Amino acid sequence: MAGSINQNAYSSALPNFRNLGILLRILLIVNAAALAAAAVKSAGLRDLWRQLLDISVVVQPLLMLSLLALVAFNDVLKRLPYYLGAVVVIAMELALTTLLYVFGRPLLAVEWGPLERHWLLAMLVTVVLLFYFDLRGRALSPALSEARLQALQARIRPHFLFNSINAVLSLIRQDPRRAEAALEDMADLFRVLMADNRELTPLAREVELCREYLSLEQLRLGDRLRVEWHIDNMPRDALIPPLVLQPLLENAVYHGIEPRTGPGVISINVYLAREQVHAVLRNPYERDGSHHAGNKMALANIRERLQLHFDAEASLSTKVGDDAYQVHIIMPYVKVAQ
């Protein structure tokens, strides 16, 4: 049982240098280091700005060249073993430092000092960044996220399982074929729920899973549950974290449909815009209802997994209206490899 969570799932890996969140962190950390160096060298606040400008004249061109090189060679670096990739990144920084020292020194009117000192500083900052991203990767390890996901599923699964079984039992004599199809949907759904869900999955597969889940819920809710699909502009080949949409639909049914006496509509709109995948889910909402407490756990779990896979390029936002609750997920358009 313990092994199913894969506690040792983390393996060191270089970050995705084409991710905007990674690039932003590199910019912030390097500029923070430059500011700290200027503060150490300055004699006071008046001298701080001049020292920062002198340092930035050297640091900013090297930083821009480094980011361009990391983005350009990202695919190559990702295929290398971690330690070899780290060595290649350090060697790349030393080479860029040397090129800037040789060709940039005549153009930039600042005191450069010996090349060895620039090598040492470039290597130190690079090692610190690699160490930071490695620690961050461990903190956001898929093993941790999967453990939390398993805890969430363990809470939801009995409630849904018992309701589904009762609904199927009521169909066995009345409509055996429909009962058989429902059992197949249940088997497919629980196969995914209990699988090792750390890799990205095609969006089309996630939507198919959601259809199976809603089909099961309609067995017991009947006309009370109405579903509107808007997926004509859905990029079927997009890759997304598994079980991102299905838990939200489970929340939509539990919090938006079950408390109602009349019919309620769940709307799912999935589309592509500006190289981003948008998923907008809406369900009925009553402000004075008693079924809202469980929303936060599922939302926090999904936010964590979006951050794990896409960093700052993905987001999840919620919007509460007078009679509707909306969840809007934005993810980068990552395609299935051809």
Share of the chain above pLDDT 70, in %: 81
Tens of pLDDT, residues 270-305: 999 999 999 999 999 876 655 545 556 778 878 888
Tens of pLDDT, residues 231-241: 999 999 999 98
Least-confidence region, from 172-176, 194-198, 225-229: 194-198
The residue among 267, 273, 210 whose CA lies nearest residue 244 is 210
Q: Show the domains of the chain with their CATH numbers.
A: 20-139 (no CATH), 142-332 (3.30.565.10)
pTM of this prediction exceeds 0.75: no
pLDDT at 115: 86
226 and 263 Cβ atoms separated by less than 8 Å: yes
Tens of pLDDT, residues 84-142: 999 999 999 999 999 988 887 777 766 777 888 889 999 999 999 999 988 887 776 65
CA distance 178 to 184: 10
Highest mean pLDDT of the ranges 2-16, 132-146, 157-171, 250-264: 250-264
The residue among 74, 124, 53, 64 whose CA lies nearest residue 94 is 124
Asked if the model's pLDDT at residue 1 lies above 60, the reply is: no
Tens of pLDDT, residues 303-338: 888 887 888 899 999 999 878 999 999 999 998 654
Q: Is the dihedral of CA 100, 106, 111, 113 positive or negative?
A: positive
| Residue 220: pLDDT band with limits 50, 70, 90 | confident
Asked if the model's pLDDT at residue 218 lies above 90, the reply is: no
Asked if the model's pLDDT at residue 79 lies above 90, the reply is: no
Average pLDDT, the chain: 82
Tens of pLDDT, residues 145-172: 555 555 555 445 556 666 677 777 777 7
- 72 vs 109, higher pLDDT: 72
Secondary structure string (H, E, C) spanning the chain: CHHHHCCCCCCCCCCCCCCHHHHHHHHHHHHHHHHHHHHHHCCCHHHHHHHHHHHHHHHHHHHHHHHHHHHHCHHHHHHCCHHHHHHHHHHHHHHHHHHHHHHHCCCCCCCCCCHHHHHHHHHHHHHHHHHHHHHHHHHCCHHHHHHHHHHHHHHHHHHHHHHHHHHHHCCCCCCHHHHHHHHHHHHHHHHHHCCCCCCCEEHHHHHHHHHHHHHHHHHHHHHHEEEEEECCCCCCCEEECCCCCHHHHHHHHHHHHCCCCCCEEEEEEEEEECCEEEEEEEEECCCCCCCCCCHHHHHHHHHHHHHHHHHHHCEEEEEECCCEEEEEEEEECCECCC
- 301 vs 69, higher pLDDT: 69
97 and 118 Cβ atoms separated by less than 8 Å: yes
> Taking residues 241-261, what's their average pLDDT?
87
Based on the number of CB atoms within 10 Å of its own CB, is 290 exposed (0-12), middle (13-18) or buried (19 or more)?
exposed
- 44 vs 4, higher pLDDT: 44
Share of the chain above pLDDT 90, in %: 33
